[in-house]
Amino acid sequence: MFNLLDRCSGFIGSTDDYNEADIVLVGAPMDFTVSFRPGTRMGPQAIRQVSIGLEEYSVILDRDLSDYSYFDAGDIALPFGHVELSLQRIGQVVGRSLMMKNFPL
């Protein structure tokens, strides 16, 4: 379904079934236009890796992650240095998620 995506270790508590999810988590590892201190392209994977240490319940919001159904679709496979093509791929993945009635995040 997501042939433009690289699946990876998922965000804490994410479901394995895309069709059950209301929310789809998608990483866009892109920092080709930066001229100083690149590295944001590693952000989506870093967030997934540290998600295991997150508290699932928020006292401030009085909400729990387990009350939500979300699917971690992984990172969009972006061709390094090709901004226009990368933006097209991001648009395709987000558009597909919206067509499937999932909220892309």
Q: pTM, whole model, 2 decimals? A: 0.77
Q: How confident is the model at residue 93 (pLDDT cuts 50, 70, 90)?
A: very high
Tokens 């989506």 map to which residue?
44
Q: Give the domain CATH number at 21.
A: 3.40.800.10
pLDDT tens by residue, 49-69: 888 888 889 999 999 988 999
Instruction: State the pLDDT at residue 90.
Output: 93
3 has a pLDDT exceeding 60? no
Q: How confident is the model at residue 1 (pLDDT cuts 50, 70, 90)?
A: very low
User: What is the chain's length?
Assistant: 105
Residues 6, 74 contacting (CB under 8 angstroms): yes
Structural domain containing residue 16: 5-104
Residue type at 5?
A: L
Total structural domains in the chain?
Answer: 1
The Cα angle at residue 12 between residues 9 and 16, in degrees rounded to 5:
65
19 has a pLDDT exceeding 50? yes
Count of CB atoms situated within 10 Å of the CB of 96: 17
Q: What is the largest distance, in Å, between two alpha-carbon atoms of the chain?
A: 42
